[in-house]
């Protein structure tokens, strides 16, 4: 009796991986933040952008869409904060993003879709203003060239 009950279940489990393997996924490309990469495609980033974006998101938030980083003065007081996957700075960008009707307040950037949509807006802004599209994420050790 037990054998008859398990046989259809085992057959279904054996068939499932074949279907899953035939469907390409973002995770199969070796990204550190595959959920963010799938969402990035939805907001307008191209497949070519994904390796650099994945690097930035991992470096900035370790793939945590709820990450908040605080920038402090020498006395320890907070003067600005960075939000979400891409750590968008509220002091530098919140007014611009409000004017683009992407956010109402800084904490809106904690929503993964909104954060990546805002990151795409900043990417496009830098590109159209004659700069490097990854300029907003430059650091001393990584110049936002799109190369790791």
pLDDT in tens, 19-47: 333 334 455 579 999 999 999 999 999 99
pTM: 0.74
Give alpha helix (H) positions in the chain: 2-22, 34-43, 50-61, 90-99, 112-128
Q: Could you report the per-residue pLDDT of 110-137, keeping only the tens digit for each? A: 999 999 999 999 999 988 887 777 877 7
Mean pLDDT over all residues of the chain?
82
Q: Return the pLDDT at 78.
A: 96
Tokens for 133, please give them: 């599209």
CATH number of 29-137: 1.10.530.10
Instruction: Identify the pLDDT of residue 16.
Output: 44
pLDDT-based confidence at residue 148 (cuts at 50, 70, 90)? very low
Contact predicate 105/99, CB 8 Å: no
* First-last CA distance in the chain: 58
């Amino acid at each position: 009796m037990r054998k008859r009950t398990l046989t259809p279940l085992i057959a279904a489990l054996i068939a499932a991986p074949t279907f899953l393997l035939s469907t390409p996924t973002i995770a199969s490309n070796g990204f550190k933040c595959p959920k963010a990469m799938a969402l990035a495609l939805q907001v307008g980033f191209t497949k070519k952008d994904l390796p650099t974006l994945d690097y930035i998101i991992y470096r900035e938030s370790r793939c945590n869409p709820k990450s908040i980083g605080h920038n402090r003065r020498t006395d320890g007081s907070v003067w600005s904060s960075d939000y979400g996957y891409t750590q968008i700075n509220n002091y530098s960008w919140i007014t611009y993003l409000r004017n683009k009707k992407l956010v109402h307040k800084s904490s809106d950037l904690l929503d993964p879709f909104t954060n990546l949509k805002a990151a795409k807006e900043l990417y496009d802004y830098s590109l159209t203003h004659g700069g490097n599209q990854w300029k907003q994420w430059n650091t001393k050790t990584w110049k936002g060239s799109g190369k790791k």
